[in-house]
Amino acid sequence: MKNKVTLNINQEKNIIRMKKLKMPNSIIIKKYNISENSIYNILKRNGRIHIVGNKKYEVNEKYFEKIDNEEKAYWLGFLYADGNVRLHNGRSGILKLKLKQSDRQHIERFNKCLDSNYIIDDGLEILKVKGREYKCYYSVLCIYNTKLVKDLFNLGCVENKTFKLNFPDFLDKNLIRHFIRGYFDGDGCIHKLKNRPDSFILSIFSVSKEFLEKISEHLYYTNIYKKYDSHSLEIFKINDILYANKLFYENSNIFLNRKKKVFESIIHN
């Protein structure tokens, strides 16, 4: 039996990285003089609210108790679109936010807003589309906190929400535009039309037509189309796109920079 070895936080982080690189346990055991069971325990603790070495992962679990400012309304909208929340047997809640690696800074900002010190991991996955393989580099944040998840459930951000999405009519009127901007940043896009380089289209996607109709009430002059198994809210007219720009960004402090830059390019042109 091996003598018990106490590892510091940096050594444990390094073991986690080695496992992500699929290194054999035998190499880790030899390097750190620990048992295979110790490796399992380190991996099990990682990312949860438990002591990891001399470090405790923390988060402001009361953050989503009440949506009473721009920042919270924005992140609620963003999580409606791109968040993943799960609750196992009424406990063991997990909040997961996964974006492409180029948007890692946005996850960092979310983590900071939550006063969280959970680790953001980077990874690579291979996607197959029509027989072709594509590399997808991503960043992911997993927060383990049951209260945080239950509060999100109460706000309509539920498990398997794709088919259960309801517009949050409970929000104060002055916060709705920030919620919509958050949802757009998570599940919307704006780009030039291929055959008309001087024209743009703004799209917001959802399986729920009723959800998009609620958003449409705030954007005006929008069209909703059925696309495969989901719906797309689309704006073509330049004046309507400029109105959306004003609704999203006037006196706003939080947004996805790359999408705001597209709006700015339209205005400058």
- Residue 103 and residue 22 in one domain: no
Examine residue 199 and state whether it is found in any structural domain, yes or no. yes
Query: What total number of domains does the chain contain?
Result: 3
Same domain, 246 and 193: yes
pLDDT given at position 7: 83
Length of the chain: 269
Provide the token pair at 254: 């939080």
Nearest alpha-carbon partner for 163 in 104, 230, 98, 105: 230
Contact (Cβ atoms closer than 8 angstroms) between residue 174 and residue 74: no
CATH number of the domain bearing residue 256: 3.10.28.10
Q: For residues 17 and 80, state if they share a domain.
A: no
Amino acid residing at 208: S
* Whether residues 200 and 241 fall in one domain: yes
| pLDDT of res. 4 | 64
Q: For residues 142, 143, 144 and 150, what is the CA-based torsion angle, rounded to 10 degrees?
A: -120
Last residue of a domain, one of 95, 128, 161: 161
75 and 51 housed in the same domain = no
Q: Is residue 109 part of a domain?
A: yes
Are 101 and 154 members of one domain?
yes
Q: Which domain holds residue 28?
A: 9-55
Do 87 and 144 fall within a single domain? yes
Looking at the domain assignment, is residue 178 inside a domain? Answer: no
Count CA atoms within 13 Å of residue 34 on its CB side.
19
Residue 37: CB atoms within 10 A of its CB come to: 9
For residues 196 and 223, state if they share a domain.
yes
Distances (CA, A) of 216 to 209, 233, 234, 235, 241: 10, 8, 9, 10, 13
Beta strands in 118-222 (DSSP E): 120-129, 132-144, 188-193, 196-206
Examine the domain organization and report whether 47 and 80 are in the same domain: no
Q: How far apart are CA 255 and CA 267, in angstroms?
A: 17
* Same domain assignment for residues 75 and 144: yes
Does residue 91 share a domain with residue 30?
no
In a domain, 191, yes or no: yes
Indicate whether 86 belongs to any domain.
yes
In a domain, 167, yes or no: no
Shared-domain flag, residues 45 and 75: no
Q: What was the pLDDT predicted at 143?
A: 93
Could you tell me if residue 221 is inside a domain? yes
Single-letter residue type at 244: A
**139: number of Cβ within 10 Å:** 20
Residue 45 located in a structural domain: yes
Q: Tell which of 161, 193, 217 closes a domain.
A: 161
Averages of pLDDT over each 10 residues, the chain, 269 residues? 69 82 81 85 61 64 96 98 87 90 96 94 86 90 93 91 83 97 96 78 92 91 82 91 94 96 87
